[in-house]
Amino acid sequence: MVIKVFLASSSGSTAIKKKQQDVVAFLEALKVDYTELDIACSEENRMWMRQNVPQDKKPANGIPLPPQIFNEESYCGDYETFFDAKEDNSVYTFLGLPPPPGSKEAVQAEEEHIMQNGTHVEENPDDSAQAEEEEEQEEEEAEVEEASRLLAVWTMTSHNSLSFSFFLMCQREKKKTWKTHRSKRLSKPSGQ
């Protein structure tokens, strides 16, 4: 998103020049990406600005004066609304941009969200899905670790007549122990 600031490079009004300088200096201080469009040198820029300022935002004479601020095609406001947003620490909202983490505006937005909902704003909506994936991975790792432990026990006892899969089944289901099965199996005649 590119912020467009419509300016008049050859304005005879010192008030307009100061307002333009204030807007540009503040955007530069915030390191906001913006483009200056000069309405004094380009009739196309002048006409576009005049046509795209909403009717209810135009002055009584119908001709909006610079500076006028847009986010791409979306009208943000004039100097007065910019100044109000600056005073309220809501310039990013005014510009239609997400506030950077840790900025006053981001902190205020989070505090407002907490007061309204009683919960913190999630940094990333995918965090909950990522947490679930991590939890599943931890469970799988625990299962692998348990299987490794059981394999080690089975290997240490090295009962060849007992399959490892049956050993695991007995351990998991807790119906029989592998010792009971081994003793029954060893007591059977070898021909059966």
Give the three-class secondary structure for 34: strand
Q: pLDDT tens-digit profile of 18-71? A: 999 999 999 999 999 999 999 999 999 999 999 999 999 998 888 899 999 999
**What's the farthest any 2 CA atoms get from each other in the chain?**
113
**Which tokens is 44 given?**
């196309």
Q: What digits encode the pLDDT tens for the residues 2-22? A: 899 999 999 889 999 999 999
Mapped onto helix, strand or coil, the DSSP state of residue 33 is coil
Q: What is the residue type of 156? A: M
Q: How many CB atoms lie within 10 A of CB 20?
A: 21
Which pLDDT belongs to residue 157?
59
